[in-house]
Amino acid sequence: MSFRSEISFCTFNSSFIVVSIRSNEFSEIGLLSNFDTGNPPRIVFGKNSLKNNLPQIIKDLHPKNSLIVSDDIVSKTGGLGKVEDAFKESGTTYKTYLIPIKEPTADVAREVSDFARKTSPDLVVGVGGGSVMDMAKLMSIMVTNKEDPIKYCALPPDPWSDKVSNLGINKILIPTTAGTGSETSNTLVIIEKGYKTWITSSKVTANISLIDPVLTYTLPPGVTRNTGLDALSHLVEGTVSSQANPISDGLIFQGVRIISKYLVRAYNNGSDEEARINMSFAAMLGGWVIAFPWVGGPATIGHCMSEALGPKFNIPHGQACAIMLPHAMDYNSSLIAPRLRPIAEAFGTDTYDMDDTKAARAAIDGVLKLMKDLEMPVSLKNSTKLTRNSLDEMLEYVLNERQFIYNLPAYNPRRLTKENLQILFDDIWEGKFSFTT
C-alpha cells in the first residue's frame, strides 16, 4: 500500500518535527491478523524517575524479601547506590547480588539460578546493562522453575516457543545503557558452548521497566556507540523480518529517526541531555520491536550472524550487530526493497523520485553513513583480529545448524544457500554489497 502524507512526531525537547513520508510501503494487517502481545511491562520513563518514582513503586509491591541485581561497573558509577537509596527510603529490606562477569555463560546462569532458589526473593530489581537485566530476568523465573536454565533455551524446530512453565516473581528492570532493550523485551540471552542462545517467554518480561536516562550520562563514547547501534539493529532488522506488522512499523520508523538524529550527538558529547533522553527512548522502542510481537533482533540473518561472531571471536555485541546490519538489509533487499524505503526516509533521505531499488540502497547508505560518523568499521577485515579462514569455517555451521536455531526459514525473507552465503561472507569481510548492485 502506497500513500503520501505528512506526520508530526514529538521529541523530548517538547518541540515538533514534521517528517514527510512519500510513497512508502508499510505493513497491512492482512494474514497477520492473529497475534499475542504477551505482557508488555508498565513503563516509567523520564529524567530522575528513579529517585522520584522507585521508592513508591517498591512500597506498592509490598515485598518481604527483595534482591537487587547489578555489577561492579554500575556499583562504581553510582547507579546501584541510587537503587539502594530508594529501598532505604521505602523502608524495605534488601540483599544485593553482583553478576560476576560481563557476558553470562551457562555456568553463570546456573550460579545465579542457584542463588535465587536459595534466597527465594519475592522481588528482583535489575539495574545495569543488558547482561545484568537478563540475569535478573532469569533469577525471577528460576525461583519458581526448577530445571537447568539451559533446558528453557531456544531449540529447533520452534526456537521462539515459551518453554517456561511457571510464572516468576515480580521484577523491575532499570537500564544503565541505551541499546539492548532488555527492559522491554521478552528475551534473555545466555552463552552456551561459545554461542548465544536465549530464553523467550512473556514470563521473563519486566513487570515494571523504569527508564531514567540520567543513568546513561556517564557512559563512555565506545559504549554509547555500541549500545546505540545495537538498538538500531533491533529496529531495522524488524523491518527486514518476514514477521513485520503495523505495530512494529510505527515503532521502527520513530526509533530509527531518533537514532539517526541523536546517536552521534550522544557519542560526541555524553553530557548532551536531549540526546541521552532520546536514545533511552529509542532503545526502549527497540526492545518492544523484539517482543511486540516477535519481529526484530535475532529474527534475521543479521543477529543470527552477529551473535555467532561476537562471543566466538570476542567482538563487542553492538559492533558485530552494526557490521552485520547493512549486509542483512542488502542480502534481503530484492525481496523487501519497498519496506526499506521508510528506513531511508527516517535517515532523512527524500525517496519520492527513487525506484524501490534505489530507495533500498539509500537506506543501506544511511546506516553506513551513521557508522562512519561514529568511527565504526564497516567490514570484519579492518575491525577485528578474526582471520578470513576463521570466518569461512563458520559457513557450514550457519547453513546447517545456526539458521534453524533462529528459525530463519520463517523469519528471514531470503532463503540461505551455500552459494549466497559464500557471497555474503565475502561481502562482510571486504565491506562490499553485492545484492543491491
How sure is the predictor about 387, in pLDDT bands with cuts at 50, 70 and 90? Answer: confident
Q: What percent of the chain has pLDDT over 70?
A: 88
The single residue listed with the C-alpha cell 517467554 is 201
Cα angle 31, 36, 42; round to 5? 140
What's the rounded mean pLDDT across residues 311-322? Answer: 90
- Kindly tell me the burial class for residue 282, based on how many C-beta atoms sit within 10 Å of its own C-beta (0-12, 13-18, 19 or more): buried
- Secondary structure tally for the chain: helices H, strands E: 16, 10
Q: Tell the burial category of 39 from Cβ atoms under 10 Å away from its Cβ (0-12, 13-18, 19+).
A: middle
- What are the C-alpha distances in Å from 281 to residues 54, 195, 312? 19, 29, 31
Instruction: State the pLDDT at residue 437.
Output: 64
Sign, CA torsion 292/298/303/309: positive
For residue 102, name the pLDDT band (cuts at 50, 70, 90): confident
Burial state string for 330-353 with b = 16 or more CB within 10 A and e = fewer than 16: bbbbeebbbbbbbbbbbbebebee
**Per-residue pLDDT reduced to its tens digit, 403-421:** 988 889 988 999 999 999 9
Inter-residue contact 136 to 126 (CB < 8 Å): yes
Q: Is the pLDDT of residue 94 over 70?
A: yes
pLDDT digits (tens, 9 = 90+) for 140-169: 999 999 999 999 998 776 777 789 999 999
Residue 220: alpha-carbon gap to chain centroid: 19
Task: Decide which of 2.170.16.10, 3.40.50.1970, 3.30.390.30, 3.20.20.70 is the CATH code for 42-216.
Answer: 3.40.50.1970
Write the DSSP symbol of residue 105: B
Among the listed ranges 7-21, 28-42, 70-84, 123-137, which one has the minimum average pLDDT value? 7-21
Tell me the pTM: 0.91
pLDDT digit string, tens, across residues 171-227:
999 999 999 999 999 999 999 888 888 998 989 999 999 999 999 999 999 999 999
Question: In this model, does residue 10 exceed pLDDT 60?
Answer: no
Residue 112 contacts residue 135 (beta carbons within 8 Å): yes
Q: Which pLDDT does position 314 carry in this prediction?
A: 86
Q: Take residue 337 and report the three cell numbers written for it.
A: 526493497
Domain boundaries, the chain: 42-216, 219-430
Of 180, 193, 148, nearest in space to 311 by CA: 193
* SS3 state at 90: helix
**pLDDT exceeds cutoff 80 at 37:** no
Q: What is the pLDDT of residue 297?
A: 53
Task: Please give the helix or strand (H or E) that residue 4 lies within, else none.
Answer: strand 4-10
Q: Are 328 and 304 in contact (CB under 8 A)?
A: no
pLDDT surpassing 90 at residue 88: yes
DSSP 228-270: HHHHHHHHHHHHHSTT--HHHHHHHHHHHHHHHHHHHHHHH-T
pLDDT of residue 286: 94
Task: Kindly report which listed range (170-184, 347-361, 374-388) carries the lowest average pLDDT score.
Answer: 374-388
**Burial category of 166 from C-beta neighbours within 10 Å (exposed 0-12, middle 13-18, buried 19 and up):** exposed
Smallest CA-to-CA distance from 229 within 197, 199, 205, 264 is with 264
Q: Note the pLDDT tens digit of each residue in 226-282.
A: 999 999 999 999 999 988 888 888 999 999 999 999 999 999 999 999 999 999 999
Q: What is the domain class of 219-430 according to CATH?
A: mainly alpha
The residue with greater pLDDT, 202 or 21, is 202
pLDDT at residue 15 tops 80: no
Can you tell me the distance from the alpha carbon of 360 to that of 13, in angstroms, rounded to the nearest whole number?
A: 31
Average of pLDDT values for 2-9?
A: 35
Instruction: Identify the weakest region by mean pLDDT among 16-20, 68-72, 156-160.
Output: 16-20
Q: What is the SS3 assignment for 334? A: helix
197 SS3 class = strand
Asked if the model's pLDDT at residue 23 lies above 70, the reply is no
* Rounded CA separation 289/181 (Å): 9
Dihedral of the alpha carbons of 367, 369, 373, 374, in degrees to the nearest 10: 30
Per-residue pLDDT band for 12 (boundaries 50, 70, 90) equals: very low
Q: Among 420, 378, 368, which Cα is nearest to 399's? A: 420
Q: Using a pLDDT cut of 90, give the percent of the chain over it.
A: 72
